Chains A and B, each alone.
Chain A
Amino acid sequence: MPILEARNLTKTFRRPDKASGFKGAVKHLVQRKYKNYTAVDGIDLSIEAGESVAYVGPNGAGKSTTVKLLTGILRPSEGTVRVMGRDPHVERIPNAHDIGVLFGQRTQLWWDLPVEESLKLLKHMYGVSDADYKARLARFDDLLDLGEFMPALARTLSLGQRMRADLACALIHAPKMVYLDEPTIGLDISVKDRLRAFLRELVDDGTTLLLTSHDLADIEEVCERIVVIDKGAIAYDGPIQQLKAHYITTKAVNLFLEGPADVPALAEKFPEYAWAAGEAPSEVVVTYESNRFTTAEVLGGLTAQLAPRDLSLSEPSIEDVIRRLYAGELTK
């Protein structure tokens, strides 16, 4: 049985329909008009216990709204959600014991209290025993270096410290299902690395994870499955490796020749590859279909005939694939 199951999940909001400017605002005061906006449109999603799922999409695609529906913050306009067999909105309090939530754009720390006081309040709210609380804090301290800012007031923390403290808040009760909405937004590379390592460890321990992020490195490093959402509907749902294997069908070699590269002549000589000029006059980019040619074949032929002084290999990243999915160039 899946730990999370959503069927035909739909959320429609009512938005004011008013003309721009002062006149429009005044007219809306006396003649109110609204139009409906569907943020999430009939999503079916099933997540098994222990899975780590990336939930990605362009701005306004409906990612955060989906997370709010799955956590019980919002009520669906249509469809159903079950988390461990419960409706998260109706059975809010039992559900709250089993889930952990982090919204990267907001904090749940008490603003004028030290971090340790916020954690203690949550400890009591979730009914965490003293022994479990100590053990979890020690682990968080180990992985997230919480100790250095535990006595600091929340309002004095840097963004990176605040995010690490918020992550501890979301996990202090050892939830079975964790939703992380943009957990690395605005963080520097070292803090991102630390958070990703922590999340990998969390997944290895069997916690189910749903992660939304615009930083696709988060996704590649932490998740096995990816769900791409666009305009409120799912555009792709499957393993990340499968997405790559299915859509990444070309590879490229950058050749650095001894003299200036004559791209048209090379294209005529090797018509089975696509040729393009590189950044330097002597650099040329050769793109080939990875299901037709092996890298060894391509390199063997080209190095024998062109004798480049250097070369480098590259393949399109998951970012390229997702960018093309957003742009509608790829289909399921």
Chain B
Amino acid sequence: MADTTLRASAARHAGGVYWRSLVAQIRAITEYPADFWVMASAGVMWNVLQFAFLTVLFAAVPDVAGWRYHEMLMLSGLLTVAAGSTALLCDGVWSTGTYVLKGEIDYRITRPAPVVVQVATSHIGMQGFGEVGFGLVMVAYGWIGAGMGLAAVPVGVLGLACAIVIECALITALCAVNFWLKGNNSIFAFVLLDLQHNAMTMPLALFPAAVKIVTMFVVPVAFVNFVPVAVLTGHLTSWWLVGPPLTAAASVLLAAGLYRLGLRSYDSSGH
């Protein structure tokens, strides 16, 4: 009982530190207004191209593997929101490799808050504002166009929340690999994003079984956008809805565990 209370108190404290650090970073963004507008616009531009591609494609074909235009917009939009959210909520984890090489984890270890929380909130990717904004527009446009009503909103919100948690956790886990690789760049996290942009903006039915297995059970990115949108649009049964919350929980545990293990092998710099 006492242990549970302590854990709950530690989690509340970590949440408080996370929120305050994030707000502080947003305040810091105001120091660089030009950077903000350029990056936010860049985030929108990339997704405008994706929107245009889908519009042109569906002008020529009525559906892709049974998926219609507005359903595909929701698929791309949800992925865009999830990816953009990582830039807003945990962009600092991309710097894990640099921090490890330069010994910049040192101070964070000596403070009474989870290191992963301090690293995640050390930076905000300003392109995330554009990505999340435009992604939400794509989801809303697709939602209305696909004829989905308000009754499905709770499922949509659950799917969106799980998508953000899974995406943040997977990126964090793959960036934590740099505790051992000792490199500046988070190669595995880049590969994940590439995999998502190539495979997860199209229906999984288009791909061979190996891709389905990998994206469902090895690197479960299918639960970020494909599964929730497929359930919402009736391509999968509602039983699949247990998948995103379970995947979210497993991904968070994986990320926290890998980061903790990484800290055990942290060597700092200048010895």
> CB < 8 Å: which of A13, A39, A103 contacts B106?
A103
Contact check, A73 vs B104: say whether CB atoms are below 8 A apart: no
Q: How many residues of A contact B (CB 8 A)?
A: 36
> CB < 8 Å: which of A13, A64, A71, A127 contacts B267?
A13
Contact check, B31 vs A74: say whether CB atoms are below 8 A apart: no
Contact check, A112 vs B31: say whether CB atoms are below 8 A apart: yes
Cβ of A33 < 8 Å from any Cβ of B?
A: no
- Residues of B with C-beta under 8 A to A94: 112
Contact check, A73 vs B111: say whether CB atoms are below 8 A apart: no
- Residues of A with C-beta under 8 A to B10: 93
Contact check, A74 vs B267: say whether CB atoms are below 8 A apart: yes
Nearest chain-B residue to A102 (Cβ)? B107
Interface residues of B in 12-35 (CB under 8 A from A): 13, 16-17, 20-21, 24, 27-28, 31-32
Nearest chain-B residue to A62 (Cβ)? B271
Contact with A along B243-271 (1 / 0, CB 8 A): 00000000000000000000010111011
Q: How many A-B contacts at CB < 8 Å in the complex?
A: 74
Interface residues of A in 109-165 (CB under 8 A from B): 110-113, 117, 121-122, 124-127, 153
Contact check, A110 vs B271: say whether CB atoms are below 8 A apart: no
Task: Quote the shortest CB–CB distance from B103 to chain A (angstroms).
Answer: 8
- Residues of A with C-beta under 8 A to B17: 121, 124-125
Nearest chain-B residue to A11 (Cβ)? B271
Contact check, A127 vs B13: say whether CB atoms are below 8 A apart: yes
- Residues of B with C-beta under 8 A to A101: 107, 110
Task: Quote the shortest CB–CB distance from B22 to chain A (angstroms).
Answer: 11
Separation of A153 and B32 alpha carbons in the complex (Å): 13
Task: Quote the shortest CB–CB distance from A81 to chain B (angstroms).
Answer: 14
Nearest chain-B residue to A173 (Cβ)? B112
Contact check, B109 vs A72: say whether CB atoms are below 8 A apart: yes
Task: Quote the shortest CB–CB distance from B121 to chain A (angstroms).
Answer: 10
Nearest 6 A-B pairs (CB), nearest first?
A112-B28, A96-B112, A108-B107, A101-B110, A65-B271, A39-B271
Which residues of B are interface residues toward A (Cβ below 8 A)?
A: 10, 13, 16-17, 20-21, 24, 27-28, 31-32, 103-107, 109-113, 264, 266-268, 270-271
Which residues of A are interface residues toward B (Cβ below 8 A)?
A: 11, 13, 37, 39, 62, 64-65, 68, 71-75, 92-94, 96-97, 99, 101, 103, 105-106, 108, 110-113, 117, 121-122, 124-127, 153
